[in-house]
Chains A and B, each alone.
Chain A
């Protein structure tokens, strides 16, 4: 299009378009030359280069009403260059243009647009729509002459911005994400594939979906399911929390552990065999009465009743009984056990002599004289402190027994019994006699002085600590009983009396037993001599008060005066001044042997 100036516009071609690639039209405009607007004033000539010799021809068909020159099928050749000219009078050429037909193709818009609803989102707010149409009838798509691609555009009714989707050759398209309640407008245009000129837009169609399908039935159903499940879960949790105990019983029933009435299960652990032995062997009869209820909240617990009458029960007893029996040929001293309810707290703080003594308590011994001595020898119960403590207190002894004891100790002769180094007192006769297990040797060395000092020291301690008022001061007295083997392992009555007379002597803090030195009036020289001899003279009738010792006692220390400080089996009362704590029971000598870990503790 040639323009000669801004103010005047020459006649020119406006556009040439082909719709079907078989015909094409060209339009012109007279411009500002209004005198040329009359039909026939301007002529169109075209040139078609089909042959080497080409000539200008006039427009085959004029449509003056539209100022259009129409080239029909006969005059249209594709892929052939065309040139047209707009001529006025006197062959004045106002405008010319050259093109090829395939480059001016603008297909018609598609027809028969319609839409169908695909689905609605579960929330009921948006939906998808499928739009389909027919290709333009003027375009011969079936023959493959025209390959058309389509572009869909849509917008909301009141909007001015068109949303364009990607061009594609198919005659249908899905539009996603339309909103319910809003009205949409859709139109489509087409163009040739690999070319860029679009045809006109089609007539629009309107899409409008109201809330007919709102509140799908499945929607609240899912809510109900979800909330119902949550509620049930919460309910189960609450039930579990509040009925935890019952559930635990059902799911994890307690394992029946060996529960012997009167014996705490703690004793069955390692290291407390001594107490257990004590209970089983000595104090079964009393266990039932005085044993605290260990399992108050487990009423279903069945206790193993260790029947003391039953000779088969109580393995430990057999051990002792058999020894004695073997020795003496006596029936098992069953009756003794009734009278011996020994509960000693189990604690021995092993290397420390002065601390942590367990106290052995007086059992329910009908004979007040024959008290607690066995308890001293035999392992006691750790937890039965309270009950047995009372018993201890009840177990009477003259309060003045201390001095008495001391005196008796000092007065006592240096009696040595020709026994083994360790002798276990198996039983205490009601009469006060003591039965020693045979076959063990007791090596006793006394030192008078040290014993006295010990007593005095203890006395001071006791005096200091009595103000605290601890019950533990009334611990059981440890005494070593030396048995005259000639007497058939029974102590004399006098001896026993002496022994029994001194239970309350305040030496609770004795962690060891000092074989009290023989009284001075006895034979000190003999003592000295005897100190050197490790054997106990068997023929001393007046057996001094010796603290009973177990089958094996640990030799704690050897004094300067060659007195052995024996560590009694775990019958040690705790230090009176120390708080009452259930000290750990030494893995002290069990009934019949020295455990290997104690061997190292023996100091020369």
Chain B
């Protein structure tokens, strides 16, 4: 009968609507939306302060690991009595101009500061990878150190991506201009087969990286407290 079929249709429709409501509510519940990576729709966007907090935490952790590794190496490699010799070593990132003081850093433009951070992170990607490879093959180091080196290498990579996202967000918000480029100046990059690499001992590498990770952490904090000084400044 017609009435029965229509009733059936209505019932199924009602049932579907109910199911859809239940389901859709689950999908749109709080916290289920993914974080926007690209300009997607339907995703939950993180605030700039949140992004800054994340990258700052990341950089702090990276610096902590580099500190641990450096002090570990210091046990094995007694610092040369000749401190001056230690001073004369040259980190490969010395060519990158970085502010050496608070005022210098504060006086620097946001775009420049962001660029400096990105350059630093970019410059350390390959050396750390090689360092980890060298440690993995060298049986003098225990697994603990080797794992830390690997972690350090990964963190540099992730931190760079994170800072790029922050830069994109800032550019999107109009805080900085679009002149930030993640292109690293060629002089900061050493050729992979450079002889200087092999001269550079692991201890020096760790020393240099420890310093640079501290720089990155500092610059990020300055940037954050200048742009979004809400919490933790």
Contact = CB atoms under 8 A, between A and B. Distances in A.
Nearest to B98: A79
Contacts of A141: 233
B70 to A, nearest CB: 10
B67 A145 contact: no
Given A144-B222, A145-B102, A193-B60, A98 B229 contact: no
Interface string A291-309: 0000000000000000000
Contact of B229 (A78, A97, A142): A142
Contacts of B232: 169
Interface residues of A, number: 29
Interface string B103-141: 101100000000000000000000000000000000000
A143 B100 contact: no
Contacts of A73: 101, 103
Contact-size category for B: 20 to 34
Contact of A143 (B60, B64, B84, B225): B225
A100 B211 contact: yes
A98 B88 CA distance: 11
B214 interface: yes
Contacts of A79: 98, 100, 211, 214-215
Interface string A11-54: 00000000001100000000000000000000000010110000
Contacts of B160: none
Interface in A96-123: 96-98, 100, 102
Contacts of A194: 60, 63-64, 67, 214, 217
Given A142-B225, A142-B229, A98 B87 contact: yes
Contacts of A78: 100-101, 218
A391 B88 CA distance: 139
Interface in B86-102: 86-88, 98, 100-102
Given A143-B106, A144-B225, A145-B221, A98 B211 contact: no
A97 B211 CA distance: 18
B148 to A, nearest CB: 14
A77 B101 contact: yes
Nearest to B212: A79
Nearest to A169: B232
A234 interface: no
B7 to A, nearest CB: 54
A441 interface: no
A167 interface: no
Contacts of B225: 142-144
A488 to B, nearest CB: 84
Nearest to B62: A194
Contacts of A176: none
A145 B220 CA distance: 10
Contacts of B224: 144
Contacts, number: 73
A184 to B, nearest CB: 29
Contacts of A102: 211, 214
B179 interface: no
Contacts of A143: 102, 106, 222, 225-226, 233
A50 to B, nearest CB: 7
Interface string A68-107: 0000010011111101000000000000111010100000
Contacts of B100: 50, 77-80
Centre residue among A78, A96, A98, A194 by max chain B CB count within 10 A: A194
**B contact face: mostly helix, strand, loop, or mixed:** helix
Contact of B84 (A98, A140, A147, A195): A98
B3 interface: no
A100 B218 CA distance: 15
Contacts of A169: 232
B83 interface: yes
B87 A142 contact: no
Nearest to B224: A144
A80 B226 CA distance: 24
A109 B200 CA distance: 39
A144 B60 contact: no
A47 to B, nearest CB: 8
Centre residue among B214, B223, B233 by max chain A CB count within 10 A: B214
Interface string A457-483: 000000000000000000000000000
A96 B67 contact: no
A26 to B, nearest CB: 14
Contact of B101 (A47, A76, A193): A76
Centre residue among A78, A140, A142 by max chain B CB count within 10 A: A78
Contacts of A76: 101
A487 B88 CA distance: 155
A234 B101 CA distance: 80
A141 B67 CA distance: 22
Nearest to A143: B225
B224 to A, nearest CB: 6
Interface string B198-233: 000000000000010011011001111110010011
Contacts of B211: 79, 100, 102
A414 to B, nearest CB: 93
Nearest to B105: A145
Interface string A140-177: 11111101000000000000000000000100000000
A135 to B, nearest CB: 11
Contacts of A97: 83
Centre residue among B101, B106, B221, B222 by max chain A CB count within 10 A: B101
A96 B88 CA distance: 15
A49 B88 CA distance: 8
Interface string B150-190: 00000000000000000000000000000000000000000
Interface string A405-423: 0000000000000000000
A50 B87 CA distance: 11
A21 B100 CA distance: 10
A581 B215 CA distance: 111
A47 B101 CA distance: 17
Contact of A145 (B63, B84, B218, B229): B218
Nearest to A80: B100
B108 to A, nearest CB: 13
Nearest to A98: B83
Given A77-B100, A77-B101, A98-B87, A147 B64 contact: no
B233 A83 contact: no
A147 B102 CA distance: 13
Contact of B233 (A21, A77, A142): A142
Contacts of B214: 79, 102, 194
A81 B87 contact: yes
B86 A98 contact: yes
Contacts of B102: 21-22, 140, 143, 145
5 contacts: A83-B87, A144-B225, A194-B63, A194-B64, A194-B217
Interface of B: 60, 63-64, 67, 83-84, 86-88, 98, 100-103, 105-106, 211, 214-215, 217-218, 221-226, 229, 232-233
Given A83-B83, A143-B233, A194-B67, 12 more contacts: A47-B84, A49-B87, A81-B86, A83-B87, A100-B211, A102-B211, A102-B214, A143-B106, A144-B221, A144-B224, A145-B105, A194-B63
Interface of A: 21-22, 47, 49-50, 73, 76-81, 83, 96-98, 100, 102, 140-145, 147, 169, 193-195
Which 10 pairs between the two chains have the least Cβ-Cβ distance? Answer: A144-B221, A98-B83, A144-B225, A77-B100, A81-B87, A145-B102, A194-B63, A98-B87, A144-B222, A194-B64
